[in-house]
Amino acid sequence: MSKLIQPPKGTRDFLPEDMILRRKVMETIRECFALYGFVEIDSPVFEYFELLSRKCGSEIEKEIYIFEDKAKRKLGLRFEFTSPLGRYYATNAEKLTKPFKRYIIGKVYRYENTQAGRYREFYQADADIIGSYSMNVENELLDLAFFTLEKLGMENYEIVLNSRKILDGIINAAGIDESKKDAALRALDKAAKIGEGGVIKEFKENCIGEENYRSFMRLIDFDISLDDEKKLSKLKERINESVKDETVKNKTNEGIEELLSIIKNFKIAETVGGEAVDTEVVDTCLKAGDTVKFDPFLVRGLGYYTGPIFEIKSKDVAIGSFAAGGRYDNLVELYGARPEGACGISFGVERIIDIIAKKNKDILKAIALPVRLYMAYLSENERTFALQTAKFLRLNGINTELSVSKEPNIGKEIKYADKKGIEYFAVIGEKEFSERKLSLKNLKTRMEMLVTAEEAIKYLKQ
């Protein structure tokens, strides 16, 4: 088949049956965001390239789709939603109520190598809070993530945490020069892919010594039996012993305390105010706590992060992280707004869908099909009544497809509805027209009944 009639590399066509699950996932995410008080916004799919690349890092900059318009302005397709949010907030700050809790669901674009769970055109769903420096923001976003994933039926995943403040401290303690920090972090971010040898090679290519890498590793070498709180406390001791710069030391300790507060937030006691909490609520909270882990290797490649960072990964589907985010207190200032505390989380919609479909191959059977009823009529004499009835059903929330055949053939119409997975079939003939009713048939059970439109609505809603 000619390449010209195939979708471009990294993009996909979706059949109607594919869209059922996709729509369900996005609607569930949207409902969860709204339940937490986030409001929806939208912004252009392309921005000035200089704006998109202002604080994204050189590696990401290579992945931006760049083009010139007819006036020779250099533009880029959005590769994520946080940089455009910085511009949006600076533009509209005076009109927004703070803290500003926004969400956006839409397509983003990255020119990168395609593989499982990685595409060049894909959907993201982001929730962000601008206007607070409190760790309650991180706790709210991670709680939102946990709540949303529960609603989506996602299981067996973990939330991994780190902090750019902590990474900056370890980099300093390892003797890596500030000017080489970004190069070191880029190499460490790829450790899982390129291994120790690959990281050391990249260090040397960027004039960072192997001993610096070894020093970094010694600082994060913990007894595997230690829990996260003890690991962070141990790291605090090592940083205080190794870092001479008091500003760096204080910033690193601040980052450690912030992570400890997030971890402790998920370890909720079984009593609140001396009264027992419902057992089911406690079990849910404890399960959430069990999924939160400290990972000193978590870097997150985007250069605008300033504090806690996090990723959410499936434990049994090898697809990488399917949600991620962090704090970016300096970002909105880059676009002309006054400094504001800010933090956000992004859900990779495509990866979530891939995980759900892989773990539950029968998922579509559990999701209601969009069309509930197919309606046909025997001749043009009954068409007007069929149109009126279909409209009445739709106004009452029954998804109804009406035949568009010029000369309907009931046998063919039934096959068509059955092939589309539509459960109910209605026919309006001369008798039904005279009695102002319709013959309703369940295509699975073959049960039939003659009912009014009102009776059909009541039955179908049951």
Place of tokens 């039939």: 448
| Beta strands in 295-378, from DSSP E residues, in sequence order | 308-314, 321-327, 342-348, 373-377
Reference 458, options 399, 372, 398; nearest CA is 398
Mean of pLDDT values over 129-151: 94
Name the burial class of residue 178, with classes exposed (0-12), middle (13-18) and buried (19+) by CB atoms within 10 angstroms of its CB: exposed
What is residue 5's predicted lDDT score, i.e. its pLDDT? 83
94-116 pLDDT, tens digit per residue, is 999 999 999 999 999 999 888 77
CB 55 within 8 A of CB 83: yes
Q: What is the dihedral of CA 8, 64, 202, 183, to 10 degrees?
A: -160
What is residue 2's predicted lDDT score, i.e. its pLDDT? 61
Neighbours of 298 (CB within 10 A): 21
Query: How far from chain centre, in Å, is Cα 176?
Result: 34
Q: What are phi and psi of 112, to 5 degrees?
A: -140, 170
pLDDT band at 145 (very low <50, low <70, confident <90, very high): very high
What is residue 428's predicted lDDT score, i.e. its pLDDT? 95
CB 303 within 8 A of CB 189: no
What is residue 359's predicted lDDT score, i.e. its pLDDT? 84
385-434 pLDDT, tens digit per residue, is 999 999 999 999 999 999 998 888 999 999 999 998 899 999 999 999 99
Question: Is pLDDT at 64 greater than 80 in this prediction?
Answer: yes
What is residue 462's predicted lDDT score, i.e. its pLDDT? 83
Domains in the chain, start-ordered, CATH in brackets? Answer: 9-156+316-367 (3.30.930.10), 162-290 (no CATH), 370-461 (3.40.50.800)
What percent of the chain is predicted at pLDDT more than 90?
67
